[in-house]
């Protein structure tokens, strides 16, 4: 008897909240009733229900049509979706050892459940028949898109392979599921295990807001009265910017970039090598020479060459700018009497000094005006002005942690539109980073289903009841994830597979990155950037200096991103058998592109969860930059209208981008909004790199 079967015996369905109708407000997950032991029996029931639904479609004796095949597929697996959404939200945002153990089994069982479905020859035959005759079916535009995406999904999963190849593909999928789960658990383990206590003598240069956040982090770990640096990016980066203690900066920096690469039980190097071999083999089975070629065929970019072309177009001016900045930073070191070469743990510290000199601005000056609550209010207000939606906090919705807040979203006519969950603070039970997910997607297949959308961040919590103060990067992250959230909340499609963010990876970042633009607009900051103690608005002088400083250090920021994207592409473009040592490959590729020694990649391979915790961004980390070409160009539509809240432009943005989900081709959607294809130079202009590019 398997662990799942044993758990089924222990927890009977009638006692399992995951298997009952939810008698909560708006039928939201009853988190206060759900315990780890409920998940395995719930998954067992969900797998069984879904398998029966698929069998009914497969064995339907009637001639295949859109309703009995494609629509039936869309209706199948609802319990599995319901259970999975809650489970993976908890695993990522509020895990514990019991959940992580269950995750190991569920990831394997999930692969074993989906493999026979996605490679079902009879089912694929029905889908292919409809696909071949789509012009005669009288389908709507959304139905045509759904049929095309369903056919593509099954075809790319191996449904057309012969039986031996299907068997091998299933084995690969199962192993990749295990490896991706192990990778993320290892990363979380290294992040949970490390912290650095700050004694009184260790706090030189650190602003009061950082010390308060460090005390809150210590409280979260049961170390009341102490102050600690953790490996959350929201803790590491401000420490590296402010700490005058060079040896402590080095210690924190090295711990941060060594996550998953410490030669301990959490080491990810061997996992990466096996993932690369298996991904390449799966691509070969499907007729592709590399995983990158397979992955990018179903994207806006289409080919590795197109991706490499964009990244190299940006790399050259970014590297030139970064090298010029490096020389200026080294000059500051010498000016202060420092007898050392600038190192990666020095860059942010001296960059802040250089920014103060050139723009008379540093992050510490503006943080008191960027209280979390005010920035949330700003994000909501921009959405109201653009799209007519309103937000009101609900205190009657069950949540997974006391820090989680929930807002009801209504449309311009006061009708319920969505619920929005905000989980903003770092804690040991949460994986690092920031993300958007959903507990329920919007759809209209059988009546209107309103979405439950989640934003998760890792901001430092204020201590002793003080507000959480955000850096400009944190505030931008909040707007970024809220942009994803709006993509889910404003979705207006019929079919769940096309809902919200169900779009190409290199299009999904457009709504999120575009929304970042409003966070840094003067009229938004004048209204919502208020001092957390006095309530005074951001002074005009500081606002002007902040705006002037926005393009500062863009060489560094672009180099750390593009290097990560290029390494991701090379990992999946070169023969896996030629990569025997992850660190050596990393060094080799960075040398090839001329990576400045004073800058490290934004994500070293061993901690690159985007790429190795699952395959969603594998060969796809470039997507942020591909989308940035569009978002920089798209915001120009508002600038050309002379109003960042122009009603006509906002309506096109809503109709063509935010509400359409995956119901139309992304290139068509963008052109419908903008009236033309994007101009690539918009990205370089936004980052202040165009002049460098033309001079290079």
- Tell me the CA end-to-end span of the chain in Å, nearest whole number: 67
What is the tens place of the pLDDT at every residue in 579-596? 999 999 999 999 999 999
Record the pTM.
0.93
What is the tens place of the pLDDT at every residue in 138-192? 999 999 999 999 999 999 999 999 999 999 999 999 999 999 999 999 999 999 9
Separation CA 485–CA 474 (nearest Å): 16
Mind telling me the catalytic residues?
Answer: 481
The pLDDT of residue 690 is 79
CB 424 within 8 A of CB 459: yes
Find tokens 């153990």 and name the residue.
101
Q: What residues does 393 pair with on adjacent strands?
A: 407
The pLDDT of residue 551 is 85
The pLDDT of residue 447 is 92
Q: Is 67 exposed, middle or buried (0-12, 13-18, 19+ CB in 10 A)?
A: exposed
Degrees, nearest 5: CA angle 516-604-615: 75
What is the tens place of the pLDDT at every residue in 440-482? 999 999 999 999 999 999 999 988 788 999 999 999 999 999 9
Q: Which two tokens stand for residue 341?
A: 């070469």
The pLDDT of residue 5 is 46
What is the tens place of the pLDDT at every residue in 534-555? 999 999 999 999 998 888 999 9
What is the tens place of the pLDDT at every residue in 178-202? 999 999 999 999 999 999 999 999 9
The pLDDT of residue 464 is 79
The pLDDT of residue 691 is 59
Mention every residue, 6+ apart, whose C-beta is less than 8 A from residue 52.
none
* Spans of the chain below 50 pLDDT: 1-11, 13, 692-696
The pLDDT of residue 548 is 86
The pLDDT of residue 12 is 52
Task: Please give the domain boundaries of the chain with CATH numbers for all domains.
Answer: 3-160 (1.10.1370.40), 194-257 (no CATH), 291-359+553-695 (1.10.1370.10), 368-549 (1.10.1370.40)
The pLDDT of residue 359 is 86
The strand pair at 452-459 and 435-440 is best described as antiparallel
The pLDDT of residue 638 is 97
């Amino acid at each position: 008897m398997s662990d799942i079967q044993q758990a089924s015996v222990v927890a009977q369905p009638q006692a399992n909240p995951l298997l009952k109708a939810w008698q909560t407000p708006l039928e939201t997950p009853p988190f206060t009733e759900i315990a780890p032991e409920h998940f395995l029996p719930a998954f067992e029931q969900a797998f069984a229900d879904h398998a029966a639904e698929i069998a009914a479609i497969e064995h339907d004796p009637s001639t295949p049509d859109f309703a009995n095949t494609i629509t039936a597929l869309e209706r199948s697996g609802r319990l599995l979706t319901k259970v999975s959404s809650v489970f993976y939200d908890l695993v990522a945002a509020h895990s514990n050892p019991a959940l992580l153990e269950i995750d190991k089994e569920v990831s394997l069982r999930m692969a074993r459940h989906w493999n026979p479905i996605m490679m079902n020859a009879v089912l694929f035959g029905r889908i292919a028949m409809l696909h071949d005759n789509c012009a005669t079916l009288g389908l709507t535009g959304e139905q045509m898109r759904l049929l095309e995406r369903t056919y593509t999904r099954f075809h790319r999963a191996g449904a057309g392979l012969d039986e031996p190849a299907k068997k091998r593909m299933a084995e690969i999928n199962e192993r990749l599921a295990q490896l991706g789960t192990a990778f993320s658990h290892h990363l979380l383990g290294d992040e949970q295990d490390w912290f650095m206590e700050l004694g009184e003598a260790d706090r030189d240069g650190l602003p009061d807001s950082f010390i308060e956040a460090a005390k809150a982090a210590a409280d979260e770990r049961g170390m009341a009265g102490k102050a600690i640096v953790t490996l959350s990016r929201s803790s590491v980066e401000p420490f590296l910017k402010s700490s005058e203690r060079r040896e402590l900066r080095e210690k924190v920096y090295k711990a941060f970039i060594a996550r998953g690469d410490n030669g301990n039980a959490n080491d990810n190097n061997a996992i990466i090598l096996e993932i690369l071999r298996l991904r390449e083999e799966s691509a070969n089975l499907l007729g592709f020479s590399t995983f990158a070629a397979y992955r990018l065929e179903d994207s806006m970019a289409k080919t590795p060459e197109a991706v490499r072309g964009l990244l190299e177009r940006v790399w050259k001016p970014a590297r030139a700018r970064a090298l010029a900045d490096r020389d200026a930073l080294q000059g500051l070191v010498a000016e202060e009497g420092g007898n050392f070469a600038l190192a990666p743990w020095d860059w942010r510290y001296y960059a802040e000094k250089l920014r103060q000199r050139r723009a008379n601005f540093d992050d510490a000056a503006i943080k008191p005006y960027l209280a979390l609550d005010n920035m949330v209010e700003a994000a909501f207000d921009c959405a109201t002005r653009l799209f007519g939606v309103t937000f009101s906090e609900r205190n009657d919705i069950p949540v997974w942690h006391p820090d989680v807040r929930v807002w009801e979203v209504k449309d311009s006519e006061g009708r319920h539109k969505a619920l929005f969950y905000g989980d903003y603070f770092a804690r040991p039970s949460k994986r690092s980073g920031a993300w958007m997910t959903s507990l329920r997607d919007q759809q209209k297949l059988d009546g209107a289903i309103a979405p439950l959308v989640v934003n998760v961040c890792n901001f430092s919590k204020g201590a002793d009841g003080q507000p959480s103060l955000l850096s400009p990067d944190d505030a931008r992250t909040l707007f970024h994830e809220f942009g994803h959230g709006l993509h889910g909340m404003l979705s207006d499609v019929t079919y769940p597979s096309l809902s919200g963010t169900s779009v190409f990876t290199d299009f999904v970042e457009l709504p999120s990155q575009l929304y970042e633009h409003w966070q840094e607009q003067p009229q938004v900051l004048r209204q919502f950037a208020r001092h957390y103690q006095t309530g005074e608005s951001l002074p005009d002088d500081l606002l002007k200096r902040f705006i002037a400083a926005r393009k500062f250090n863009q060489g560094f920021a672009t180099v750390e991103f593009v290097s990560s994207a290029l390494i991701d592409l090379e990992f999946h473009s070169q023969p896996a058998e030629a990569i025997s040592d992850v660190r050596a490959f990393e060094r080799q590729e960075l040398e090839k592109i001329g990576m400045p020694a004073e800058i490290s990649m934004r994500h070293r391979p061993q901690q690159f969860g985007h790429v190795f915790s699952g395959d969603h961004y594998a060969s796809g980390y470039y997507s942020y930059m591909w989308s940035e070409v569009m978002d920089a160009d798209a915001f120009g539509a508002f600038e050309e209208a002379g109003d960042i809240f122009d009603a006509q432009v906002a309506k096109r943005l809503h109709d063509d981008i935010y509400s359409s989900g995956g119901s139309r081709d992304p290139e068509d959607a963008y052109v419908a909004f903008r009236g033309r294809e994007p101009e690539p130079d918009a990205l370089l202009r936004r980052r202040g790199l165009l002049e460098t590019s033309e001079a290079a």
